[in-house]
Each structure stands twice: as structure tokens, then as C-alpha cells.
Chain A
């Protein structure tokens, strides 16, 4: 059977590790060629690329700090010159500063918003041009912190709320070009990023579904939104959280026994 994404080209930002890596591998397993973007973790990106190659598809690694608009342009220039098209863009790369809202300074705000929100806008603008006539898909990766609050998560949560609003505007305005834009939002996922918030206790918690969300769970939802079955889904958010957001007291109950 022909793989559903055979002949498609996907760019997954921040795919050297964690959720981005799982998404890149999932799309590759469905036949897509993949551009692996990374910034701080070359070893991880090269390892991801080798795993993708083993799935029998093409892979290109591009190092770019997507917090810098000039570097985004350079990345897309490489894609344009090398391939000349793009079918799937996954705005996954994220960063942040673990502070309470009163401690967020201009530097922390700009750093986080540049990477988590502005980069998604700029990448989508460039991607849309390369998706001309190709029924492109854009998926933005968000988190429950866009609408719920967690300690030390303020600026990241705000940036994710911006990203989700961006999804809706992109979905509306890119729809006439045949491009589907949606959000996949996850609760706490078992990745290295969790260490970043190590000051926050109990980030690891079971969900009503009985376990934590894995990067592969998120990747599966992304792959669905990249399939033609999802053609009529525009500007929506799929929440991958094992039921956490609809059962806020589940974790509490578990602790009390």
C-alpha cells in the first residue's frame, strides 16, 4: 500500500528531540520527506535524521535559531532552493523562561514570544508560498497552559495562547489556498523539557487515561491533521491530554487516595 504522505515534504521546527522528533518520525513513517530543524542540539538532530533515513525517506537537517527572523528566512531559502516546495509545516519549536508573571521582564517576554509565537507566523508566511497548489497543512503545537495556569508558566502560556489565536487567523486566511491550519495541544508530556520546570513539583502526573501523555500520542494527532481525512477541519484545536483538562480534580483525588 502506498504510504499516505509519500512524495510530501514536511518541515518540523525543533525536531532534534522530544515531541518534534516524534512528529518527524511519524510523518516519515507515513512516507513524508522531512526537514529537521534544530538549534541547540546537533547530536539529537543528527540522530533523528538517521532514524528518518532508516524509514526510507529523504531528510535534510537545517540549524536555525527561529527566534531570529533572518535565520527563518535563511532556512526557507535553503528549502526553496533545494526542494522548491513544502507540503507540511509543524510549528513545534518552543522555549521559555520559568517565571511568575510579575517576574517576567522584557527580555524574557521577547525571547519566549519570538520563538513560540512570532516564529510560527513568519514560518507560516514563508511556508504558504511554497505550498501553492499543494493542499498544504500547518499544525501548531500548543499546551494546556494557554488556557489553564501553572506556576512559573506565565510567559509560555501567554505565548501559546497567541499561537492558538494565530492558528485561527491563518486557518481562515489560508483556507482559500487549500491550506489547513490547526493546533494540537498537549498536557505535560514526558520529555526532557520537563526538567526545565523542575522547580515545579508534581509536573509528572497520571491522567484520567491512566498514564502520562507521550510524544507519540501528540505525533499521532498531528499526523491525523496532516491527512486528507482532516481536510474539513480548519482552525481547530485537538487536545491530547488523556482527559486532564476535563477532570481537573482527578490528580488531587489520586493523591488523597
Chain B
């Protein structure tokens, strides 16, 4: 499963929304996630990929595309290292 697929599955499970509604163009606001959903999704994704998503980074995400892109870069950096 791709990184994007895994992220969509994790967010869908935590926020109880349909996976199809999580696209690169949508955001946590669009799926009506609250602050606890968001932080729990962050924690789950950090643990799944063994990466760190600092708050200051996360605050800059406009949509899931930004989020997925950031995680993909972290995963790629880890593979290189």
C-alpha cells in the first residue's frame, strides 16, 4: 500500500469518515475533524512511519495534499539515510 493510501486509511479510521472523502484537495476542516481527531491522526501517522511532524510544520498544511507530501518526503529521506 502506498504512503498516501496508508495515510488516508489512518485518517478515515480516526475521524470515522469515508476514505473517499480524504483527497489531496480536501482538508481536516472539510471532513469536520476536531482538534483531538487531528492530533490523534498526527500521532498515528508518526508512529506508522516512524517520523516526526512538528506542530510548526503541521500548522502550515493547507490540505491533505500538503500533509501527504510532507510525510512522503520524510519517508523518502529516511530511506535515503
Interface string of B7-49 (1 = CB under 8 A from A): 0000000000000000000000000001110011001000000
Docked complex: A22-51 residues within 8 A CB-CB of B: 40-43
Complex contact A65–B43 (CB within 8 A): yes
* Complex-state Cα separation, A207 to B77, whole angstroms: 51
Complex contact B56–A43 (CB within 8 A): yes
Number of residues of chain A lying within 8 A (CB) of chain B: 11
* Complex-state Cα separation, A78 to B29, whole angstroms: 38
CB-based A-B contact count at 8 angstroms: 21
Complex contact A42–B54 (CB within 8 A): yes
Complex contact A42–B36 (CB within 8 A): no
**Which of A40, A42, A63, A95 has the most chain B CB atoms closer than 10 A to its own CB?**
A40
Nearest to A112 among chain B residues (CB) is B36
Residues of B within 8 A of A40 (CB): 39, 54-55
Given A65-B43, A111-B40, A97 contacting B55 (CB threshold 8 A): no
Does chain A have a CB within 8 A of B50?
Answer: no
Tell me which of A42, A97, A108 contacts B52 (CB under 8 A): A42
Residues of A within 8 A of B36 (CB): 97, 107-108, 111
Tell me which of A41, A108, A111 contacts B54 (CB under 8 A): A41
Query: How many whole Å from A98's CB to the nearest CB in chain B?
Result: 8
Residues of A within 8 A of B43 (CB): 65
Query: How many whole Å from A68's CB to the nearest CB in chain B?
Result: 8
* Complex-state Cα separation, A108 to B39, whole angstroms: 12
**Which of B52, B54, B56 has the most chain A CB atoms closer than 10 A to its own CB?**
B54
Nearest to B58 among chain A residues (CB) is A40
* Complex-state Cα separation, A95 to B36, whole angstroms: 10
Nearest to B14 among chain A residues (CB) is A107
Docked complex: A52-73 residues within 8 A CB-CB of B: 63, 65
Q: Which 10 A-B pairs have the closest CB atoms?
A: A40-B55, A42-B54, A97-B36, A41-B55, A43-B56, A111-B36, A108-B36, A65-B43, A107-B36, A43-B54
Interface residue ranges, B against A (CB under 8 Å): 34-36, 39-40, 43, 52, 54-56
Interface residue ranges, A against B (CB under 8 Å): 40-43, 63, 65, 95, 97, 107-108, 111
Given contacts A43-B54, A63-B52, 13 further A-B contacts (CB under 8 A): A40-B55, A41-B54, A41-B55, A41-B56, A42-B52, A42-B54, A65-B43, A95-B39, A97-B34, A97-B35, A97-B36, A108-B36, A111-B40
